[in-house]
Structure 1
Amino acid sequence: MPLLTTLVDNFNDNVIGPNWGDSYGGAVETGGRARVPLLAGQYAGYQTGRAWTLAGASIYLKLVTRPAASTGTDVSANFLVTSPVEGTSIGFKYNAVTNRLRMQSNVDYFDAGAVELAYDAVNHLWLRLREDGTNVYWDTSPNGSTWTNRRTLATPAWVTAAVDQCALDLYAYRDAGVTDYAEYDNVNTLADGGVVTATGSGTMTTATTATAKRSATATGSGALDSATTATGTVVHHASGSGSVDTDATATAGGVDRNDVDFAVSRPTTGWVVSAPWR
């Protein structure tokens, strides 16, 4: 049961997503908004499929751009949840001719008990519709966080019955006048950031410090210079004349026992040989 609460879109990818597959009349996603054109005599809408549920859900958005009345006598931008029955819907209507916001529960396209307010572009920027199992509430907000209830109505029977059968329709219409558009944004989200997926290259630097046993033996003349970062036992051995300069990084558990030099040959005159070599 997909509640309308789970419908989230900030329109920032400029592509009409799969949730809005029933959009019509030239609606597009552009500039990070859902844009619905108002062309005289034509309806247009940004619309979902009929697969959603209002019962126990809430849905809010921002009406960013409102149409101008121009020479029209019927010019509006609408935010409605529609039932499977034609003309039965619930939601908001902005009337550009009267500059009023109407909160309506329509049957046969009309609500005689609708509540209207003089539209305030600041305080009515965000609109929310919600249902709690008892009532439907119409709320407005200047910021999407602090809400004011504007109308409360006992939940119509169709809202509870129309499980997985409702659609969200953000539609607009004008009967005459200059073509313009309405724009909607931030459906169920306050986040306005875009999401970008890309591939690239980078560098990872790792610094590791460990405690190890270090042993060095030098025979002859020379110098031993050893810097070691290791886990385990590392032995460095140098013999002869010259120098050894070693940087080592190792993980080892063994011991290099090649740290003793023997010169074995026949004794000569003047040598003293003691036990156990006799």
Structure 2
Amino acid sequence: MAEVSAATTTALLGRWVSPPARKAGTLAGTVAWIYGRAQSSTSSAMVVRAHMYVTVGDTDTVRGVLLNNYTGATVFPTVATGGGTSGVALTGSVALQTGDRIVCEFGYQAQNTSAAAETGTLHYGGTGTTDLASGSTTVAAAPGWVEFSGADGLFSTPTSEIVDRFTTGIGSRFVYYGGTFWNAGWKRVAVPATSSYPALMATDVGYEITGSTYYGEIVKMPTGGTNTTFSAMLLGPLDNGTYMSTRYTVATGLLSFINAVGYSDATPTTLAYSPVAHRWVRFREAAGTFYWETSPDAVTWTVRRSVPAPQWIRFGTLRTSFQGYADAGNTATVAEIDNVNSTPATVVKVWNGTAWAPKPLKVWNGSTWVTRPVKSWSETAWF
């Protein structure tokens, strides 16, 4: 957009609107952003101008202002380059209600004194898997971003809220395809390994794992098939080849902890799978670090791998799934999944001298102590 005034001029280049808030809460703290920007010449003297606010639902009514006409100090480059802030304190806090939206407006303030036409440009729409960084010129591919420090859990649901014990079927939190089914006798979900990539998926892509967890009990891994056969738990955005995964490969017997970009990870962490030690698998994010963990009982967890949390982890657009795969013509038994984000019935609490602590319940099977489920009566049946 061009301006031709010798006076200081402000121009709006773009407006972005968030998805609706999923729950009520107060939005406060800081906001950071990076996007591609450029000016037509060094004499343009353009700096960023930003205004952010919350609307009442889908209306034009302003609930409250978050950032009031912020004016930057860094002049745009003449070559399109990523730039922004590492964090600006919000002008005020806003008490959001469910359904409210954040509106972010970006433009420029031209501080030149020339009447010649000067142009400011904002780049957006990149679809690459790596977010745009400050100083980067990959503005056509790498997407720009805006991040509020206090928005976690307000515009997306924490992955820890995806809970299902599968006692009476597959609940509303999940959808399945490609042959996944619930077994009434087992009271858990079976995920086969076939060429159609069957999976049990969370029904929504509006989840986030920042400061949260996601775990499940893998009662049984599949058997049979060739070296292509696997069973995995995944966390990622829409299907673009970027995801975190804990994968069991049938032929090798290895459990791999994968940070995939472009559908692959050249250096995954691997170990020999144990159906006892690795009965439970978990994803967790805390203080900017992403963790892969395993546990024999959902009480004591062991970190198997950790990496600095990538930018996409902090987006509230994640999907979780349990997935299987095998080449056409191969056969494999199913993986059996249970107790997603749920404390198992095999855990009880005992007094340790100072507090009640969760411990796995074990029974003697004639030769060793093994973990066994506890059943309770629910009016008409044992569960």
TM-score normalised to structure 2 length:
0.48
2:227 counterpart (55, 73, 95):
73
- What residue is the counterpart of 1:52 in the other structure? 207
Alignment-mate amino acid for residue 35 of structure 1? A
Q: CA deviation at 1:73?
A: 2.4
Residue 19 of structure 1: how far off its partner (Å): 0.9
| Greater relative contact order (Cα < 8 A, sep 6+) | 1
Residue 12 in structure 1 maps to residue 167 in structure 2: yes
4+ residue segments displaced more than 4 Å: 193-198
Q: Give the CA deviation at 1:155.
A: 0.3
Q: 1:188 aligns with which of 312, 329, 341?
A: 341
What SS does the aligned partner of 1:159 have?
helix
Residues 189 and 195 (structure 1 numbering): CA distance in 2 closer, same or farther, change over 3 Å? farther
Partner of 2:191: 36
Alpha-carbon displacement from aligned partner over 1:43-90 (angstroms, at most 9, x marks no partner): 1000112121111110111111111134x2201110011212511111
Residues 163 and 340 of structure 2 are in contact (CA less than 8 Å); yes or no, is this contact kept in structure 1? yes
**Distance of aligned partners of 1:82 and 1:196 in 2 relative to their CA distance in 1, 3 Å threshold:** farther
* Root mean square deviation, CA, Å: 1.8
1:149-202 residue CA offsets vs partner (Å, 9 max, x unmatched): 111100011101x21x1111100011142242111111111234578477xxxx
| 1:168 and 2:320 correspond | yes
Give unpaired runs (5+ residues) of structure 2. Answer: 1-155, 346-374
Whether the aligned pair in 1 keeps the contact of 2:163 and 2:173 (CA below 8 Å) is: no
Question: For residues 191 and 152 of structure 1, what CA distance do their matches in structure 2 show?
Answer: 25
C-alpha contact 1:95 1:101 (8 A) present in aligned 2: yes
- The aligned amino acid for 1:19 is R
Deviation at 1:92, TM superposition (A): 0.3
**Contact conserved, 1:139 with 1:148, CA < 8 A, in 2?**
yes
In structure 1, stretches of 5+ residues that fail to align are 199-278
1:149 aligns with 2:303: yes
Partner of 1:110: 264
Change (3 A) 1:195 1:105: farther
Q: How many residues align?
A: 192
CA separation in 1, counterparts of 2:308 and 2:337?
Answer: 27
How far off is 1:117 after superposition? 0.6
Q: Is the 8 A contact 2:192 2:222 kept in 1?
A: no
Q: Structure 2 vs 1, CA of residues 186 and 113 (structure 1 numbering), >3 Å: closer, same or farther?
A: same
Q: Is the 8 A contact 1:12 1:194 kept in 2?
A: no
Question: Structure 1 residues 195, 20: closer, same or farther in 2, change over 3 A?
Answer: farther
SS at match of 1:29: strand
Q: Bigger radius of gyration, 1 or 2?
A: 1
Distance 1:123 1:114 in 2: 19
